Amino acid sequence: MEATTEEGNFREINIEFLAKGGDEGFDIFYKTDSFGTEKFVKFASTEPKHQEKVRRLLEEGTDQDFYIHEEDLFKYYKFATNALRAVMADPSVPVKEKTEKIYDVSKGVMKEFFDHNSSEKILESSEEVMEMMEDCMSTAEMGFHGIAEITSKDYYTYTHSVNVGLYCMTFGLKRKMTKNDTKQLSLGGMLHDVGKSKIDHALINKDGKLTDEEFEAMKSHANEGGKIISGMSCFASNVVRMAAEHHEKYKGGGYPIGKIGNEIHLFARICKIMDVYDALTTRRSYKKALSAFDTLIIMKKQMASDFDPDLLQDFIRLMGPDL
Radius of gyration of the chain (CA): 21
DSSP-derived letter for residue 209 is P
For 17, half-sphere exposure in the C-beta direction (CA atoms, 13 angstrom radius) is 25
Q: Taking CA 234 as the corner, what is the angle to CA 232 and CA 240, rounded to the nearest 5 degrees? A: 70
Q: What pLDDT is attached to residue 215?
A: 94
Which of the four pLDDT bands, split at 50, 70 and 90, describes residue 21?
Answer: low
Q: Is pLDDT above 50 for 170?
A: yes
The percentage of residues in the chain with a pLDDT greater than 90, rounded to a whole number, is: 48
List Cβ<8 Å contacts ≥24 apart for 26-29: 26/68, 26/69, 26/72, 26/75, 26/76, 27/68, 27/69, 27/72, 28/54, 28/66, 28/67, 28/68, 29/66, 29/67, 29/68, 29/69
pLDDT digits (tens, 9 = 90+) for 108-125: 889 888 887 677 878 888
Q: What pLDDT is attached to residue 257?
A: 97
pLDDT digits (tens, 9 = 90+) for 249-303: 999 999 999 999 999 999 999 999 999 999 999 988 778 999 999 999 999 999 9
Highest mean pLDDT among 53-67, 196-210, 261-275: 261-275
pLDDT digits (tens, 9 = 90+) for 82-110: 888 888 888 898 888 888 888 988 998 89
Q: Is pLDDT above 90 for 24?
A: no
How far, in Å, are 27, 31, 40 from residue 34 at the CA level? Answer: 22, 10, 11
Residue bearing the bigger pLDDT, 266 or 320: 266
Which of the four pLDDT bands, split at 50, 70 and 90, describes residue 16?
Answer: confident
Burial (CB count <10 Å: 0-12, 13-18, 19+), residue 169: buried
222 with 271: CB under 8 angstroms?
no
Q: Which of 157, 242, 230 is nearest to 200 (CA)?
A: 157
Q: What is the mean pLDDT of the chain?
A: 88
Which of the four pLDDT bands, split at 50, 70 and 90, describes residue 1?
Answer: very low
Q: What pLDDT is attached to residue 169?
A: 94
User: What average pLDDT does this structure show over 153-167?
Assistant: 91
Q: Is pLDDT above 60 for 322?
A: no
CA–CA dist 5, 224 (Å, integer): 40
138 with 317: CB under 8 angstroms?
no
